Structure 1
């Protein structure tokens, strides 16, 4: 009888874990949950920091040299551009949080996260100082900004894993109505 009680506790723990992630049919729920909540922490933290002048000035060179984002400085100024990005990052965190319970938001948040890291990895090609000339130039990269940007490769991979699990999830499977047999 003790075994059944332990099994019941394990089943309840598993069901509780299932409430934490919407992708029920996509492999290890625990690992997807780790990816989700790590991304949530990153987006909450980085998004909140975008409202400080420290962060606005820190990201200004990346934005200024980006063919995709440089217009933000012209439209909103350095602080305003940082705030716009902060709102997008906090929205990404919100979608990822809601996505733990609603699969559509899981896919939306993961897609927003992936787009974020596609953009930041593009800075690799546009920001001066990425290649380290004293080490022979590219592929030798500087500590900042080169190695700082390279970490986003892992964050992009995490985002794509969560996105893949979100769009492959059981919520996409439409059940055909069964015909009644006479």
Structure 2
């Protein structure tokens, strides 16, 4: 029993020592996710894929030229090309908005990563990540495509998330991680004063 207690104590000590590494790994994870997802915003299929979220958002829809319900006639499957639909997306500012959003997302990821060395920069970056994830999570309320539609099975609506809804809900983990990183940056900034 004494060996088990000793082993448990050693495991707890090692685990407790990983907190600082864990916070840095959250920074790295946010960086990887934001660089990758932000970079994908320069590909047409990704720009087209975010249209339902942006078009239905009261915070972002003004970036598009077309009204929200119209996009449903111009949806494309990932990897599909249709000249008429592509032209509609060009007229809608689908690609221009997506490129700008991609640059913002990548910037937030870089600022958050820099928090490893520069806590003030990391504080700003993680704060921006928090704001962005609140915006993303608002899609659960504003985007009909987040919920399984009533197509006759009897299984529809809240709490049944579609693929789009499952994509959005994962931002709760990014939000939680960004709060941890923000707190770490704030503690480090306060220690220097």
- Normalised by the size of structure 1, how large is the TM-score? 0.74
The Cα of 1:174 is off from its aligned counterpart by 5.9
Matched residues in 1 for 2:175 and 2:188: separation?
Answer: 23
Structure 1 residues 159, 71: closer, same or farther in 2, change over 3 A?
A: same
| 1:152 aligned onto 2:178 | no
Q: How does 1:1-182 map to 2 (within 5 A)?
A: 28-74=19-65, 77-132=93-148, 133=150, 134-142=154-162, 144-167=163-186, 169-173=187-191, 175=193
Q: How many residues align?
A: 147
44-53 vs 72-81, greater mean Cα deviation: 72-81
SS in 2 for 1:141: coil
CA contact (8 A) 2:52 2:145 kept: no
Deviations 1:24-77 (A, max 9, x none): xxx821110110000000011011111111110011111000001111223981
**How far apart, in 2, do the equivalents of 1:65 and 1:56 lie?**
15
Q: Offset of 1:129 from its aligned partner?
A: 2.6
Q: Structure 2-normalised TM-score?
A: 0.70
Q: Which runs of 4+ in 1 moved over 4 A?
A: none
CA contact (8 A) 1:73 1:80 kept: no
Structure 2: how far apart are the matches of 1:111 and 1:105?
10
Cα distance in 1 for residues equivalent to 2:134 and 2:183: 16
- Distance in 1 (alpha carbons) for counterparts of 2:156 and 2:114: 46
